[in-house]
Amino acid sequence: MSQAVATASKDDVVRCDACPVLCRIRPGKAGACDRYANVEGVLTRVDPLVITERAASEGAGVPFLSGSEGWNGSVAAPPPAASFVTGIGAGTTYPDYKPAPFIVSSQHDGVDMVTVVTEGIFSYCGVKVKIDTDRYLGPEQAAVRVNGEAVGHVTTAEYGSQMLSLGGVHHLTGGSKKEGTVTCDTLLALCNKQAVTLQIDGGSELIVQAGKPPVVNGTPEARMRVGCGSATIGIFAKQWLGHADEVIVVDDHITGVLTEHQAGRFLDMPLSGIRVRGRKSTPGRYFQVADPGLGWGGTNISDPLEIVENIDAKTAWPGMKLLMVSTTGEHSAWYVLDDQLKPQPAEMPAPIKLVVDRIAENCEPSLCTVLFMAGAGGSLRAGVTENPVRLTLSVKDRLTRVTSGGAPVYVWPGGGITYMVDVARMPDNSFGYVPTPALVAPIEFTLRRDDYAALGGHMDYVVQLEDVLQAGRLSKLAQRADNPWPITRPTAEEQP
């Protein structure tokens, strides 16, 4: 168990200084955060320190050539698995004049490296939630609530996805005590990959969980759209040629009309004379054909013919074949115009159904993505160096790699160390909290040993990796194969 500084009273009560709450903890009890306990008069970090391990190199197992004697029949032994000390279970630097709980020396490709390991206490933090769906979740800027308390808002939608911005210092500390507590609980659950039920003012109720499909008003989402209505026309126009006289792809954002669209013009398709509602953008592309909702293509319609404004008798003809389809292929209908040029439902031909199915095939699975975002540019840096700005500059110069639980992060340009990490790439239950309220997240800074000395690092507190691995209360996990090994310098793409 990791230990922190504590003050013991005569009755063996210890005062925890791991966060500003300064709990007084009786023997055998834990503090308010359940992260520190009084173990026989010693303040002790409850959870184990998490170590990630990299498998032996892929070159292991190659026949061993011994000088001029040729192959001696033996196989080279694989090198031992490399280990990385994460911040999960490490403890904090609070009060921030203290060096980080672990400053670990190791080697990578013959180079001496140092990793500074801690758990940061973040009031300036939140999550960005990407929800793959065309469903209408609520108006932009609408409050997102949990148990009636505002915890964030709906932000600008992205291509095929709705976006939420949750948490932040104003919800954590700027409102009522209940708002701060509910916000902290919500962030903690989302970051630890648990399901959370959200209500959006003027919109939907949804269940969000990292790496899982969203559930909107009780209905699980299956797939995100292949593209907007115009993009769907562009992708599949040639496959409809000769089988349909007109195709209308219904979409809340950009509804596409094949024969007017540039793709239809390129294929020399005659205009159908079908005019849809909405505001025409460019030929074959229409905005605002209906209100947002849970129907076709993220609109509020259940009958696609509702968006047909008129049919020009001078252009259309009896027997004309019309396909109406949504951007996911979830909704589709086939019509043939009668003698009065009214669309009549008909059985969908096999070649048309094939393309509708192909739209669905090209839709990716609908998932929720949770990105934790925090600012590590404050006093946390004092646990790394006596001259904090040098750490910031080292990160910007890509001399120092920042990771969170061993997972890669994106560091925002500009001042400070503002970073984002996909919680799905972190070990389970990587996050904790303190009842100030604030979230506790693992963070690691890795750089060459000589660079660490140059930025004024706490060299007297450097310990060898081997010594850390001999300590008790360790939890060893395999490093995710899609995560870069943390003990390397970051690339420009990973950390601008």
pLDDT tier at 12, thresholds 50, 70, 90:
confident
Instruction: Give the per-residue pLDDT at 370.
Output: 98
In a domain, 299, yes or no: yes
Q: Are residues 216 and 245 in the same domain?
A: no
Q: Are residues 180 and 259 in the same domain?
A: no
Instruction: Give the per-residue pLDDT at 20.
Output: 85
Q: Are residues 196 and 251 in the same domain?
A: no
Rounded Cα gap, residues 450 and 466, in angstroms = 20
Name which of 32-36, 225-229, 374-378, 479-483 the model is least confident about. 32-36
Where do runs of H (alpha helix) occur along 157-302? 169-173, 177-191, 229-240, 262-266
In a domain, 393, yes or no: no
Name which of 15-29, 58-72, 137-151 the model is least confident about. 58-72
Q: CA separation (Å) from 372 to 126, 191, 489?
A: 6, 7, 22
% of residues, the chain, pLDDT over 70: 91
pLDDT tier at 491, thresholds 50, 70, 90:
low
In a domain, 327, yes or no: yes
Instruction: Give the per-residue pLDDT at 220.
Output: 93
Per-residue pLDDT tens for 429-470? 999 999 889 999 999 999 999 999 999 999 999 999 999 999
Rounded Cα gap, residues 261 and 305, in angstroms = 19
Q: Are residues 292 and 235 in the same domain?
A: yes
Q: CA separation (Å) from 478 to 1, 52, 294?
A: 21, 5, 42
CB contact burial 219-245 (16+ within 10 A = b; e otherwise): eebebbbbbbbbbbbbbbbeebeeebb
pLDDT tier at 21, thresholds 50, 70, 90:
confident
Q: Which of 13, 30, 46 is the last residue of a domain?
A: 46
Q: Are residues 237 and 214 in the same domain?
A: no
Q: Are residues 203 and 303 in the same domain?
A: no
Instruction: Give the per-residue pLDDT at 293.
Output: 85
Q: Are residues 275 and 336 in the same domain?
A: yes
In a domain, 94, yes or no: no
In a domain, 202, yes or no: yes
In a domain, 463, yes or no: no
Q: Are residues 239 and 268 in the same domain?
A: yes
Q: CA separation (Å) from 12 to 7, 176, 412, 465?
A: 9, 35, 46, 33
Q: Which amino acid is at 127?
A: V
Predicted confidence (pLDDT) at residue 142 exceeds the cutoff of 80: yes
Q: Are residues 244 and 204 in the same domain?
A: no
Instruction: Give the per-residue pLDDT at 35.
Output: 83
Instruction: Give the per-residue pLDDT at 61.
Output: 36
Predicted confidence (pLDDT) at residue 56 exceeds the cutoff of 80: no
Per-residue pLDDT tens for 403-431? 999 999 999 999 999 999 999 999 999 99
Q: Which of 361, 392, 414 is the last residue of a domain?
A: 361
Instruction: Name the residue with tokens 């398709």.
Output: 269
Per-residue pLDDT tens for 362-400? 999 999 999 999 999 888 999 999 999 999 999 999 999
**How many structural domains comprise the chain?**
3
Per-residue pLDDT tens for 236-247? 999 999 999 999
Per-residue pLDDT tens for 60-80? 333 333 333 444 444 443 344
In a domain, 194, yes or no: yes
Rounded Cα gap, residues 132 and 148, in angstroms = 25
Rounded Cα gap, residues 490 and 396, in angstroms = 10
Q: Which of 46, 62, 82 is the last residue of a domain?
A: 46
Instruction: Give the per-residue pLDDT at 75.
Output: 42
pLDDT tier at 2, thresholds 50, 70, 90:
very low
Q: To the nearest 10°, report the CA torsion of 176, 182, 184, 186.
A: -150
In the three-class reduction of DSSP (H, G, I as helix; E, B as strand; rest coil), residue 142 is classed as: coil
% of residues, the chain, pLDDT over 90: 77
Instruction: Give the per-residue pLDDT at 241.
Output: 97
pLDDT tier at 230, thresholds 50, 70, 90:
very high
Q: Are residues 249 and 214 in the same domain?
A: no
Bridge-based pairing of strands 410-411 and 102-108 is unpaired
In a domain, 320, yes or no: yes
Q: Are residues 267 and 351 in the same domain?
A: yes
In terms of residue numbers, what domain contains 314? 229-361
Instruction: Give the per-residue pLDDT at 46.
Output: 84
Q: Are residues 270 and 318 in the same domain?
A: yes
Residues linked to residue 219 through DSSP beta bridges, in sequence order? 216
More confidently predicted of 135 and 356: 356
Q: Which amino acid is at 86?
A: T
